[in-house]
A and B are shown apart, each in its own frame.
Chain A
Amino acid sequence: MNEQNITEKTKKDEVIGALLLDYAAGALESPLEILVETHISLNAASAKQLRMLMQLGGILLEECEPVSLSEGALDAVMAEIARGEVDEQTAKQDNVVAFTPSHEAKDVTVAHLPRPLADYIPDLSCDKSWRKISKGLSQCRIQFDGTDVEANIYRIAPGTSIPVHSHEGTEVTLVLSGGFTDETGAFGPGDIAIQETGATHKPVADDDGECIVFAINEGNIRLASPIGRVLSYLVN
């Protein structure tokens, strides 16, 4: 590994570290949160790291200086619990989205995206909104409720060279299947690539299979504390 590769690897690890920290702290916009969860389902090392960060959250909770609740808070809670138990049978189950670590990336297609992404995106194989961008490259826009963040699924045919392009907003890309290589290195299933505003790159898809990626672009929208926070890692 030459020096530049080491730097790129460190940078990638840092980006992931920052994303996971923000995730644990609950500071991400929902599409980015889904991206991180899907990344975790594909990457055991990140799942392990997140486990540590959640433990850290537990430790920090213990260390919080207690602030008393209002008088009668426990009684109110017990009353609510008793009320809830009456109609517990009819109440709908809390949303359960199980992560499936070490997801089989080779089985991923646009019809079968990895979870939990698949819980938000239906089978896209026959979707009408696929749009051909250039030879070997198609895009399907994904709308997430309640946010203006632009999210897309891209399909890239094996071996396709995507023309040099720049990004208007910061773009975070998660590889779902296949892989690509650009100036900053090689990306495979579960890897996350970040393109800063104005950065140009020229990705080339691996030639051994279709490459499917999930990309989130903050565009021109000013977000509360989403990608910008991660980005602050990279600036400087």
Chain B
Amino acid sequence: MENLSDMRKNSLVSGGSSAFNTYMGTGIVNDNINSRAELDELLVRVGRYKDKSAFASLFSYFAPRIKSFLLRLGTDMSTAEELAQEAMIMVWRRAETFDPAQAGASTWIFTIARNKRIDRLRKDGRPLPDMLDPAMMPDQPETGLEAVNRTQEEDKLRVAMKKLPEEQAKMIFAAYYEEKSHREISEESGLPLGTVKSRIRLALSRLRANLDEHER
């Protein structure tokens, strides 16, 4: 439980700018992974060749992050461990359907982790839609250039994320990781609700603007 409380302490809402800096920009350099393209390549190898060593590399990069992500959402330690393992099993089983032209490995695996968590929380057992299905993605790939475009799109989003004023970025983090209602964010941060809302609004519209720019 120590880890969890540490993480809560570092909560982006209550934490200072150092917490923010910790969260952006450290994602790739460690774990012997040199680039996001390498993550995509590993996942492709798992899908095509059932490559166990590629899977082991993916596991060492993603499983601890999925666990961390789930802990941030308030999942208890043993459930987070279990779900991280289940998500990775799903990664293996579904890897054949991974198409780097449609989504990066991180987006694809985020989707699996998100669904695993919802499955666990939900009592009704509603089957989740297959968001990994290519049909889910509005733009169908036509050429080999699509993967390049997709990568550029994600890189732009990363840049846009880093360019966001810190107070806006914090709100976005909180909305995802901590599943906080805007009211909760407001109470914890001591900011008026209107400020919280306008920051999320601004952040989203900036990111959207980035997306539109990409189209031109």
Contacts and interface: CB of A to CB of B under 8 A. Distances in A.
Interface of A: 14, 17-18, 21-22, 24-27, 30, 33-34, 37, 44, 47-49, 51-52, 54-70, 73-74, 76-78, 80-81, 84, 94-101, 116, 120, 144-147, 225, 228-229, 232-233, 235-236
B134 to A, nearest CB: 8
A174 B179 CA distance: 24
B182 A229 contact: yes
B123 A146 contact: yes
Given A17-B204, A60-B176, A67 B197 contact: no
Contact of A58 (B24, B63, B106): B106
Given A64-B72, A69-B67, A98-B130, A58 B104 contact: yes
Interface residues of B, number: 90
Nearest to A46: B138
B138 A101 contact: yes
B126 interface: yes
A233 to B, nearest CB: 6
A34 B197 CA distance: 25
List the 8 shortest-distance A-B pairs measured between CB atoms, nearest first.
A146-B124, A58-B107, A95-B127, A62-B27, A66-B64, A58-B106, A97-B129, A64-B68
Contact of A55 (B71, B154, B179, B194): B154
B131 interface: yes
B31 to A, nearest CB: 7
A171 B84 CA distance: 36
B68 A55 contact: no
Contact of A236 (B25, B194, B205): B194
Contact of A229 (B88, B109, B128, B181): B181
B52 interface: yes
Interface string B20-36: 00111111101100001
Interface string B205-216: 101100100000
Contacts of B88: 77
B136 A99 contact: yes
B11 interface: no
B182 A77 contact: no
Given A21-B204, A56-B157, A80-B89, A65 B22 contact: yes
A1 B127 CA distance: 42
B135 interface: yes
Interface string B155-185: 0011001000000000011011101011100
Nearest to A101: B138
A27 B3 CA distance: 24
B208 to A, nearest CB: 7
27 contacts: A25-B175, A25-B179, A26-B115, A47-B137, A52-B207, A54-B131, A55-B153, A56-B157, A57-B176, A58-B108, A58-B109, A62-B65, A64-B66, A65-B7, A69-B85, A73-B63, A76-B85, A77-B89, A77-B92, A78-B52, A95-B128, A95-B130, A97-B127, A99-B136, A145-B125, A228-B181, A232-B197
